[in-house]
């Protein structure tokens, strides 16, 4: 069974848990999944195994605390220590795939906006390849950083009583910073590199092309399955 | 980690290898068997970190297979390496079992 099948099976089976056990199990699930450096296949197999065990125990009238421990964080940490690391190659492929997806969607959005805008105004279609690539790389790094920060926040907050106001504030701040970066970075980077004329339609086609390639990569190298 | 839990873990590891050597089992089945043999104090969940470590060390292998009850379960079986480890555990256990019993039960004369 591949990871996708395991996750689907997990989603289906989890519904059979009673409210109390589901709350306990959900925390373990989110905590284990938020550790991205361990093998995804192995951790999903483990999660199904723990779920099956809990379901059988539940039908015999036991609670999650009786099956696992009163300290789910310590228990999960022990499990995570024993799980094998994700292979470097598949981690590299995954990050490459994310960057491709990002590039594809960004080109599509830019293309879409400009295609519509061109009906109303005259746009300067000049594009400097050097600047464009630099801007994209900086933005990609910022997005990956934001994702990494969010995941580490999840990791820390799963078993802690989280401060909703603080979390909301941090999320809002991150949003503002990212938005500001996307507005200002293109203005700060000087124009350099080969100059081409590229209107909205070019970006639309480019975006679709990149997404098609990343879809093909995904299938060929089984990145997300 | 306390000495008590270290000791327990080592012994539990040997017991799990021995149970898996007799027949392929899945997690819940394994915890039931341990309980049936009288190890009721062992929390059920504590078998999973041990199963993971045994897999990592190549002593056992897991395989998703249909269970008699229907749903797919991960069944464990012993590898060649695991058989050797079990034999060694049994040898060592036989060697220390009696001396330890003697020391613990010698009464007040020692």
Q: What are phi and psi of B60, to 5 degrees?
A: -135, 165
Q: What is the mean pLDDT of residues B16-27?
A: 94
Q: Which residues of A touch B (CB under 8 A)?
A: 1, 9, 45-46, 48-50, 52-53, 56-57, 66-69, 75, 78-79, 81-84
Helix ranges restricted to H, chain A? 3-14, 19-33, 40-59, 64-67, 72-82, 88-120, 129-157, 164-188, 200-221
- Asked if pLDDT for residue B4 goes beyond 70, the answer is no
The tokens for B7 are 């000791």
Q: Within 13 A of A105's CA, how many CA atoms are on the CB side?
A: 9
Which of A45, A68, A82 lies closest to B74 in CB terms?
A45
A68 three-class SS = coil
Distance from CA of B44 to the nearest CA of A (A): 5
Q: Which residues of B touch A (CB under 8 A)?
A: 26-28, 31, 43-46, 48-49, 52-53, 56, 62, 64, 71-74
Question: Using a CB-CB distance cutoff of 8 angstroms, which residues of chain B are in contact with residue A83?
Answer: 52
Question: Model confidence over A37-96: pLDDT tens digits?
Answer: 899 999 999 999 999 999 999 999 999 998 988 889 999 999 999 999 988 888 888 888
Cβ-count burial A136-171 (b if 16+ within 10 Å, e if not): bebbbebbeebeeeeeebeeebbbeeeeeeeeeeee
Question: Using a CB-CB distance cutoff of 8 angstroms, which residues of chain A are in contact with residue B56?
Answer: 82, 84
Distance from CA of A47 to the nearest CA of B (A): 11
In chain B, what are the domains?
3-104 (1.10.10.10)
Q: How far apart are CA A21 and CA A25, in angstroms?
A: 6
Are B73 and A52 a contacting pair at CB < 8 A? Answer: yes
Contact B85, B94 (CB under 8 A): no
Q: How far apart are CA B108 and CA A176, in angstroms?
A: 75
Question: What pLDDT, on a 0 to 100 scale, did the predictor assign at position B89?
Answer: 94
Q: Say which residue the tokens 């848990």 belong to.
A: A17
Question: What pLDDT, on a 0 to 100 scale, did the predictor assign at position B58?
Answer: 94
Question: What pLDDT, on a 0 to 100 scale, did the predictor assign at position A205?
Answer: 92
Q: Which residue of B has its CA nearest to A84?
A: B56
Q: Say which residue the tokens 């297979």 belong to.
A: B65
The list of chain A residues with pLDDT below 50 reads none
Per DSSP, A48 falls in state H
The tokens for B57 are 């060390």
Question: What pLDDT, on a 0 to 100 scale, did the predictor assign at position A225?
Answer: 63
Question: Model confidence over B35-59: pLDDT tens digits?
Answer: 898 887 778 898 999 999 999 999 9
Distance from CA of A131 to the nearest CA of B (A): 48
B28 three-class SS = helix
Are A52 and B62 a contacting pair at CB < 8 A? Answer: no
Residue A134: count other Cβ atoms within 10 Å of its Cβ.
17
Lowest mean pLDDT among A118-122, B72-76, B77-81, B106-110: B106-110
More confident residue, B89 or B68: B89
The tokens for B76 are 């464990």
- Asked if pLDDT for residue B2 goes beyond 70, the answer is no
Are A52 and B28 a contacting pair at CB < 8 A? Answer: yes
Question: What pLDDT, on a 0 to 100 scale, did the predictor assign at position A90?
Answer: 80
């Amino acid at each position: 069974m591949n990871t996708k099948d395991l996750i689907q099976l997990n989603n289906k089976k989890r519904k059979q848990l009673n409210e109390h056990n589901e709350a306990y199990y959900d925390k373990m699930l989110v905590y284990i999944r938020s550790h991205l450096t361990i093998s995804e296949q192995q951790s999903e197999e483990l999660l199904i195994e723990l779920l099956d065990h809990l379901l059988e125990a539940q039908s015999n009238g036991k609670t999650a605390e009786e099956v696992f421990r009163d300290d789910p964080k310590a228990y999960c940490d022990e499990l995570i220590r024993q799980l094998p690391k994700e292979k470097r190659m598949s981690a590299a492929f995954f990050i490459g795939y994310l960057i491709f997806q990002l590039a594809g969607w960004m080109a599509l959005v830019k293309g879409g906006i400009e295609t519509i805008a061109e009906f109303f105004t005259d746009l300067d279609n000049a594009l400097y390849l050097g600047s464009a690539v630099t801007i994209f790389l900086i933005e990609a790094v910022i997005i990956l950083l934001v994702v990494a920060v969010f995941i580490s926040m999840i990791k820390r907050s799963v078993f802690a009583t989280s401060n909703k106001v603080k979390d909301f504030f941090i999320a809002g701040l991150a949003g503002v910073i990212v938005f500001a970066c996307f507005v200002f970075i293109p203005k700060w980077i000087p124009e350099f590199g080969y100059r081409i004329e590229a209107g909205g339609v070019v970006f639309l086609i480019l975006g679709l092309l990149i997404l098609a390639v990343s879809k093909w990569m995904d299938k060929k190298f089984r990145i997300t399955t | 980690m306390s000495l008590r839990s270290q000791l327990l873990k080592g012994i539990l590891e040997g017991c799990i290898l021995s149970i898996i050597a007799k027949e392929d089992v899945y997690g819940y089945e394994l915890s039931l068997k341990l309980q049936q043999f009288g190890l009721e104090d062992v929390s059920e969940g504590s078998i999973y970190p041990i199963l993971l470590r045994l897999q990592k060390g190549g002593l056992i292998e897991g395989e998703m297979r249909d269970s008699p009850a229907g749903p797919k379960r991960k069944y464990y079986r012993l590898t060649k390496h695991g058989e050797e480890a079990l034999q060694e555990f049994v040898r060592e256990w036989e060697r220390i079992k009696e001396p330890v019993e003697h020391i613990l039960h010698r009464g007040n004369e020692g």
